[in-house]
Copies of this chain bind each other. A is one copy, B any other.
Amino acid sequence: MNSRRPRITLLAGGVGGAKLAVGLASICEPGQLSIIGNVADDQAFHGLWVSPDIDTLTYTLAGRIDSSKGWGLADESNRVLDGLKRLGCDSWMYLGDQDMATHIMRTHLRQQGVRPSLIAQRIAESFGVQSNIVLPTDDRVQTRIRTPQGWLSFQEYFVREQCQPEILEIQLDGLERATVTAEALAAIREADLLVIAPSNPIVSIGPILAIPGLGQAFALSNAIKIAVSPLIGGATVKGPADRMLSACGYSCNNLGIADCYADLIDGLIIDQQDQAEADALKARGIDVMVTHTLMRDTADKARLAGELLQFAQGQLTEEKQAC
Protein backbone atom coordinates (compact mmCIF):
# COMPACT_ATOMS: atom_id res chain seq x y z
CA MET A 1 0.00 0.00 0.00
CA ASN A 2 1.55 3.28 -1.05
CA SER A 3 0.98 6.75 0.35
CA ARG A 4 -2.37 7.23 -1.42
CA ARG A 5 -5.32 5.75 0.40
CA PRO A 6 -5.31 1.99 -0.17
CA ARG A 7 -7.96 0.56 -2.41
CA ILE A 8 -9.99 -1.93 -0.44
CA THR A 9 -12.16 -4.67 -1.90
CA LEU A 10 -14.41 -6.61 0.43
CA LEU A 11 -16.04 -9.94 -0.40
CA ALA A 12 -19.23 -9.95 1.60
CA GLY A 13 -22.54 -11.77 1.96
CA GLY A 14 -25.32 -11.74 4.51
CA VAL A 15 -25.75 -9.59 7.55
CA GLY A 16 -22.17 -9.99 8.89
CA GLY A 17 -20.77 -8.95 5.53
CA ALA A 18 -22.95 -5.86 5.38
CA LYS A 19 -21.90 -4.88 8.91
CA LEU A 20 -18.19 -4.97 8.09
CA ALA A 21 -18.95 -3.10 4.86
CA VAL A 22 -20.47 -0.31 6.92
CA GLY A 23 -17.45 -0.33 9.24
CA LEU A 24 -15.02 -0.03 6.33
CA ALA A 25 -17.17 2.56 4.56
CA SER A 26 -17.15 4.67 7.72
CA ILE A 27 -13.34 5.00 7.57
CA CYS A 28 -13.01 5.16 3.76
CA GLU A 29 -13.30 8.00 1.26
CA PRO A 30 -16.08 7.69 -1.34
CA GLY A 31 -14.87 5.31 -4.04
CA GLN A 32 -12.10 3.83 -1.92
CA LEU A 33 -14.15 0.77 -1.02
CA SER A 34 -15.62 -1.82 -3.38
CA ILE A 35 -17.77 -4.65 -2.11
CA ILE A 36 -18.27 -7.78 -4.15
CA GLY A 37 -21.58 -9.26 -3.03
CA ASN A 38 -23.18 -12.66 -3.36
CA VAL A 39 -25.86 -13.33 -5.97
CA ALA A 40 -26.28 -17.07 -5.40
CA ASP A 41 -29.15 -16.45 -2.94
CA ASP A 42 -31.11 -14.62 -5.65
CA GLN A 43 -34.49 -16.03 -6.57
CA ALA A 44 -37.62 -14.99 -8.44
CA PHE A 45 -40.73 -14.44 -6.31
CA HIS A 46 -44.04 -13.65 -8.03
CA GLY A 47 -42.03 -13.11 -11.21
CA LEU A 48 -39.84 -10.48 -9.54
CA TRP A 49 -36.09 -10.97 -9.24
CA VAL A 50 -35.08 -10.68 -5.59
CA SER A 51 -31.42 -10.31 -4.66
CA PRO A 52 -31.37 -10.52 -0.86
CA ASP A 53 -27.63 -10.25 -0.22
CA ILE A 54 -27.11 -7.33 -2.59
CA ASP A 55 -30.15 -5.53 -1.17
CA THR A 56 -28.94 -6.09 2.40
CA LEU A 57 -25.60 -4.53 1.40
CA THR A 58 -27.30 -1.59 -0.31
CA TYR A 59 -29.81 -0.92 2.44
CA THR A 60 -27.19 -1.30 5.19
CA LEU A 61 -24.70 1.04 3.48
CA ALA A 62 -27.52 3.52 2.87
CA GLY A 63 -28.41 3.49 6.57
CA ARG A 64 -31.91 2.35 5.61
CA ILE A 65 -31.70 -1.24 6.90
CA ASP A 66 -34.14 -2.51 9.51
CA SER A 67 -31.44 -2.93 12.14
CA SER A 68 -33.66 -5.01 14.41
CA LYS A 69 -33.73 -7.74 11.74
CA GLY A 70 -30.49 -7.02 9.88
CA TRP A 71 -32.32 -7.21 6.55
CA GLY A 72 -35.16 -5.39 4.83
CA LEU A 73 -35.90 -1.68 5.00
CA ALA A 74 -36.71 0.22 8.18
CA ASP A 75 -40.27 1.49 8.58
CA GLU A 76 -41.54 -1.21 6.24
CA SER A 77 -45.09 -2.38 5.50
CA ASN A 78 -46.42 -5.39 3.64
CA ARG A 79 -49.60 -4.34 1.86
CA VAL A 80 -48.54 -5.89 -1.45
CA LEU A 81 -47.63 -9.21 0.16
CA ASP A 82 -50.99 -9.25 1.94
CA GLY A 83 -52.65 -8.60 -1.42
CA LEU A 84 -50.71 -11.43 -3.06
CA LYS A 85 -51.67 -13.74 -0.20
CA ARG A 86 -55.36 -12.87 -0.70
CA LEU A 87 -54.87 -13.71 -4.40
CA GLY A 88 -53.70 -17.18 -3.37
CA CYS A 89 -49.96 -16.64 -3.86
CA ASP A 90 -47.23 -18.04 -1.59
CA SER A 91 -46.17 -15.52 1.02
CA TRP A 92 -43.45 -17.26 3.05
CA MET A 93 -40.78 -14.95 1.60
CA TYR A 94 -41.25 -11.62 3.34
CA LEU A 95 -41.13 -8.81 0.80
CA GLY A 96 -41.95 -5.38 2.17
CA ASP A 97 -43.65 -2.66 0.15
CA GLN A 98 -40.67 -0.30 -0.16
CA ASP A 99 -38.42 -3.29 -0.84
CA MET A 100 -40.88 -4.42 -3.52
CA ALA A 101 -40.10 -1.22 -5.45
CA THR A 102 -36.46 -2.37 -5.65
CA HIS A 103 -37.49 -5.79 -7.00
CA ILE A 104 -39.95 -4.29 -9.49
CA MET A 105 -37.33 -1.87 -10.82
CA ARG A 106 -34.63 -4.56 -10.95
CA THR A 107 -36.91 -6.98 -12.81
CA HIS A 108 -38.03 -4.31 -15.26
CA LEU A 109 -34.45 -3.32 -16.08
CA ARG A 110 -33.40 -6.98 -16.43
CA GLN A 111 -36.26 -7.48 -18.87
CA GLN A 112 -34.96 -4.52 -20.84
CA GLY A 113 -31.58 -6.26 -21.06
CA VAL A 114 -29.70 -3.98 -18.67
CA ARG A 115 -26.76 -5.81 -17.09
CA PRO A 116 -27.47 -6.86 -13.49
CA SER A 117 -24.21 -5.14 -12.41
CA LEU A 118 -25.41 -1.80 -13.77
CA ILE A 119 -28.83 -2.30 -12.16
CA ALA A 120 -27.20 -2.93 -8.77
CA GLN A 121 -25.09 0.22 -9.24
CA ARG A 122 -28.13 2.28 -10.19
CA ILE A 123 -30.12 1.06 -7.19
CA ALA A 124 -27.18 1.73 -4.86
CA GLU A 125 -26.79 5.26 -6.29
CA SER A 126 -30.52 5.92 -5.86
CA PHE A 127 -30.13 4.96 -2.21
CA GLY A 128 -27.15 7.31 -1.86
CA VAL A 129 -24.55 4.57 -1.35
CA GLN A 130 -21.03 5.92 -1.96
CA SER A 131 -19.11 2.64 -1.97
CA ASN A 132 -19.07 0.51 -5.12
CA ILE A 133 -21.37 -2.49 -4.94
CA VAL A 134 -20.02 -5.01 -7.43
CA LEU A 135 -21.64 -8.23 -8.67
CA PRO A 136 -19.27 -11.20 -9.13
CA THR A 137 -21.21 -12.27 -12.22
CA ASP A 138 -24.12 -11.05 -14.34
CA ASP A 139 -25.14 -14.67 -14.91
CA ARG A 140 -27.50 -16.78 -12.87
CA VAL A 141 -25.65 -18.87 -10.29
CA GLN A 142 -27.80 -20.36 -7.56
CA THR A 143 -27.05 -22.23 -4.36
CA ARG A 144 -29.01 -25.48 -4.04
CA ILE A 145 -29.14 -27.47 -0.84
CA ARG A 146 -29.93 -31.19 -0.80
CA THR A 147 -31.93 -32.22 2.24
CA PRO A 148 -33.85 -35.39 3.11
CA GLN A 149 -36.90 -33.70 1.51
CA GLY A 150 -35.00 -33.07 -1.73
CA TRP A 151 -33.19 -30.13 -3.29
CA LEU A 152 -34.09 -26.68 -1.98
CA SER A 153 -33.11 -23.22 -3.13
CA PHE A 154 -31.20 -21.20 -0.56
CA GLN A 155 -34.27 -19.12 0.31
CA GLU A 156 -36.45 -22.23 0.60
CA TYR A 157 -33.91 -23.70 3.04
CA PHE A 158 -33.16 -20.48 4.89
CA VAL A 159 -36.52 -18.69 5.01
CA ARG A 160 -39.28 -21.22 4.30
CA GLU A 161 -37.71 -24.14 6.20
CA GLN A 162 -35.96 -21.94 8.81
CA CYS A 163 -32.66 -23.88 8.33
CA GLN A 164 -34.25 -26.92 9.96
CA PRO A 165 -33.66 -29.70 7.37
CA GLU A 166 -30.47 -31.76 7.59
CA ILE A 167 -27.97 -30.67 4.93
CA LEU A 168 -26.81 -33.57 2.75
CA GLU A 169 -25.09 -31.63 -0.01
CA ILE A 170 -24.61 -28.06 -1.25
CA GLN A 171 -24.20 -27.24 -4.94
CA LEU A 172 -23.94 -24.17 -7.10
CA ASP A 173 -26.14 -24.30 -10.18
CA GLY A 174 -25.08 -22.41 -13.29
CA LEU A 175 -21.35 -22.13 -12.57
CA GLU A 176 -20.36 -23.72 -15.89
CA ARG A 177 -22.12 -20.95 -17.82
CA ALA A 178 -21.12 -18.08 -15.53
CA THR A 179 -18.57 -15.39 -16.36
CA VAL A 180 -16.92 -13.03 -13.92
CA THR A 181 -17.82 -9.36 -14.44
CA ALA A 182 -15.22 -6.86 -15.58
CA GLU A 183 -16.11 -4.81 -12.49
CA ALA A 184 -15.32 -7.68 -10.11
CA LEU A 185 -12.04 -8.47 -11.86
CA ALA A 186 -11.01 -4.80 -11.73
CA ALA A 187 -12.02 -4.52 -8.07
CA ILE A 188 -9.78 -7.48 -7.24
CA ARG A 189 -6.87 -6.54 -9.50
CA GLU A 190 -6.77 -2.89 -8.41
CA ALA A 191 -7.13 -3.62 -4.70
CA ASP A 192 -4.30 -3.02 -2.24
CA LEU A 193 -6.24 -4.87 0.42
CA LEU A 194 -8.61 -7.77 -0.17
CA VAL A 195 -10.88 -8.54 2.75
CA ILE A 196 -13.17 -11.52 3.27
CA ALA A 197 -16.02 -10.49 5.54
CA PRO A 198 -17.25 -12.55 8.51
CA SER A 199 -19.80 -14.15 6.21
CA ASN A 200 -20.80 -17.76 5.66
CA PRO A 201 -17.79 -19.30 3.85
CA ILE A 202 -19.95 -21.95 2.16
CA VAL A 203 -22.97 -20.05 0.82
CA SER A 204 -21.85 -16.38 0.93
CA ILE A 205 -18.13 -16.22 0.14
CA GLY A 206 -17.90 -19.61 -1.60
CA PRO A 207 -20.27 -18.66 -4.44
CA ILE A 208 -18.26 -15.46 -5.07
CA LEU A 209 -14.87 -17.19 -5.19
CA ALA A 210 -16.36 -20.01 -7.30
CA ILE A 211 -17.21 -17.75 -10.24
CA PRO A 212 -14.79 -18.86 -12.98
CA GLY A 213 -11.86 -16.45 -13.10
CA LEU A 214 -12.74 -14.66 -9.87
CA GLY A 215 -11.11 -17.03 -7.39
CA GLN A 216 -8.02 -17.21 -9.59
CA ALA A 217 -7.75 -13.42 -9.78
CA PHE A 218 -8.08 -13.32 -5.99
CA ALA A 219 -5.36 -15.94 -5.56
CA LEU A 220 -3.02 -14.19 -8.03
CA SER A 221 -3.49 -10.73 -6.54
CA ASN A 222 -0.52 -9.16 -4.79
CA ALA A 223 -2.82 -7.37 -2.37
CA ILE A 224 -2.76 -8.12 1.35
CA LYS A 225 -5.54 -10.63 2.00
CA ILE A 226 -7.29 -10.69 5.33
CA ALA A 227 -10.36 -12.66 6.40
CA VAL A 228 -12.49 -11.97 9.42
CA SER A 229 -13.78 -15.20 10.92
CA PRO A 230 -17.58 -15.56 11.10
CA LEU A 231 -17.18 -17.87 14.14
CA ILE A 232 -17.10 -16.86 17.79
CA GLY A 233 -16.49 -19.71 20.19
CA GLY A 234 -17.08 -22.24 17.41
CA ALA A 235 -20.54 -20.91 16.61
CA THR A 236 -21.97 -18.39 14.17
CA VAL A 237 -23.48 -15.12 15.32
CA LYS A 238 -26.39 -15.64 12.93
CA GLY A 239 -27.31 -18.19 10.27
CA PRO A 240 -26.39 -21.80 9.56
CA ALA A 241 -22.65 -21.45 8.75
CA ASP A 242 -21.65 -23.83 11.56
CA ARG A 243 -23.89 -26.65 10.29
CA MET A 244 -22.83 -25.95 6.72
CA LEU A 245 -19.13 -26.13 7.57
CA SER A 246 -19.72 -29.52 9.16
CA ALA A 247 -21.89 -30.72 6.27
CA CYS A 248 -19.11 -29.77 3.86
CA GLY A 249 -16.43 -31.57 5.86
CA TYR A 250 -14.79 -28.57 7.54
CA SER A 251 -14.11 -28.28 11.25
CA CYS A 252 -16.44 -25.81 12.88
CA ASN A 253 -13.63 -23.64 14.22
CA ASN A 254 -11.10 -21.18 12.83
CA LEU A 255 -8.93 -23.97 11.46
CA GLY A 256 -11.95 -24.96 9.39
CA ILE A 257 -12.30 -21.33 8.24
CA ALA A 258 -8.60 -21.33 7.33
CA ASP A 259 -9.18 -24.52 5.34
CA CYS A 260 -12.04 -22.85 3.45
CA TYR A 261 -9.66 -20.04 2.46
CA ALA A 262 -6.53 -22.19 2.04
CA ASP A 263 -3.84 -20.38 0.01
CA LEU A 264 -6.12 -17.34 -0.27
CA ILE A 265 -5.41 -15.37 2.93
CA ASP A 266 -2.38 -13.87 4.61
CA GLY A 267 -4.15 -13.15 7.84
CA LEU A 268 -7.21 -14.13 9.82
CA ILE A 269 -8.95 -12.02 12.43
CA ILE A 270 -10.49 -14.14 15.17
CA ASP A 271 -12.44 -13.38 18.30
CA GLN A 272 -10.88 -13.24 21.75
CA GLN A 273 -12.92 -16.27 22.75
CA ASP A 274 -10.92 -18.25 20.20
CA GLN A 275 -7.45 -17.02 21.26
CA ALA A 276 -6.43 -20.64 21.90
CA GLU A 277 -6.62 -21.35 18.13
CA ALA A 278 -4.09 -18.64 17.24
CA ASP A 279 -0.97 -20.79 17.50
CA ALA A 280 -2.34 -23.59 15.32
CA LEU A 281 -3.30 -21.01 12.69
CA LYS A 282 0.13 -19.37 12.82
CA ALA A 283 1.72 -22.81 12.45
CA ARG A 284 -0.05 -22.99 9.09
CA GLY A 285 1.58 -19.72 8.03
CA ILE A 286 -1.49 -17.57 8.65
CA ASP A 287 -0.96 -14.39 10.58
CA VAL A 288 -3.58 -13.91 13.27
CA MET A 289 -5.12 -10.91 14.95
CA VAL A 290 -7.23 -11.52 18.04
CA THR A 291 -9.89 -8.95 18.91
CA HIS A 292 -13.59 -8.56 19.59
CA THR A 293 -15.24 -9.50 16.28
CA LEU A 294 -18.88 -9.13 17.33
CA MET A 295 -20.33 -5.99 15.70
CA ARG A 296 -23.24 -4.88 17.82
CA ASP A 297 -23.27 -1.19 16.94
CA THR A 298 -21.74 1.47 14.72
CA ALA A 299 -18.75 1.92 17.03
CA ASP A 300 -17.99 -1.83 16.93
CA LYS A 301 -18.08 -1.83 13.12
CA ALA A 302 -15.74 1.16 12.80
CA ARG A 303 -13.38 -0.21 15.46
CA LEU A 304 -13.12 -3.63 13.81
CA ALA A 305 -12.59 -2.00 10.40
CA GLY A 306 -9.84 0.21 11.86
CA GLU A 307 -8.13 -2.73 13.54
CA LEU A 308 -8.36 -4.64 10.27
CA LEU A 309 -6.59 -1.81 8.42
CA GLN A 310 -3.85 -1.67 11.05
CA PHE A 311 -3.43 -5.44 10.85
CA ALA A 312 -3.15 -5.18 7.06
CA GLN A 313 -0.58 -2.40 7.33
CA GLY A 314 1.44 -4.60 9.71
CA GLN A 315 1.30 -7.36 7.10
CA LEU A 316 2.66 -5.00 4.50
CA THR A 317 5.50 -3.96 6.78
CA GLU A 318 6.39 -7.59 7.35
CA GLU A 319 6.34 -8.25 3.62
CA LYS A 320 8.67 -5.30 3.02
CA GLN A 321 11.03 -6.55 5.68
CA ALA A 322 11.03 -9.97 4.09
CA CYS A 323 12.00 -8.52 0.71
Seen from chain A, the residues whose Cβ lies within 8 Å of a Cβ on chain B are 46-48, 77, 79-84, 86-89, 97-102, 104-105, 107-108, 111, 122-123, 126
Complex Cα gap A87–B73 (Å):
14
Q: Which residues does chain B contribute within 8 Å of A100, judged by CB atoms?
A: 80, 83, 100
* Interface residues of A, dominant DSSP: helix
Q: Which residues does chain B contribute within 8 Å of A99, judged by CB atoms?
A: 83
| Top-7 shortest CB links A-B | A83-B101, A47-B108, A79-B97, A83-B98, A84-B101, A87-B126, A87-B105
Cross-chain contact A126 with B88 (CB below 8 angstroms):
yes
Copies in the complex: 2
Q: Which of B48, B87, B88, B102 touches A87 (beta carbons < 8 Å)?
A: B102
Q: Which residues does chain B contribute within 8 Å of A82, judged by CB atoms?
A: 98, 101
Give the Cβ gap from A322 to chain B, nearest Cβ, in Å.
Answer: 49
Cross-chain contact A87 with B101 (CB below 8 angstroms):
yes
Complex Cα gap A47–B86 (Å):
22
Complex Cα gap A105–B86 (Å):
11
Give the Cβ gap from A75 to chain B, nearest Cβ, in Å.
Answer: 10
Q: Which residues does chain B contribute within 8 Å of A86, judged by CB atoms?
A: 101, 126
Give the Cβ gap from A244 to chain B, nearest Cβ, in Å.
Answer: 31
Q: Name the residue on B nearest A81 (C-beta).
A: B101
Q: Name the residue on B nearest A112 (C-beta).
A: B47
Q: Which residues does chain B contribute within 8 Å of A84, judged by CB atoms?
A: 101, 104-105
Q: Which of B88, B97, B108 touches A46 (beta carbons < 8 Å)?
A: B108
Q: Which residues does chain B contribute within 8 Å of A46, judged by CB atoms?
A: 104-105, 108
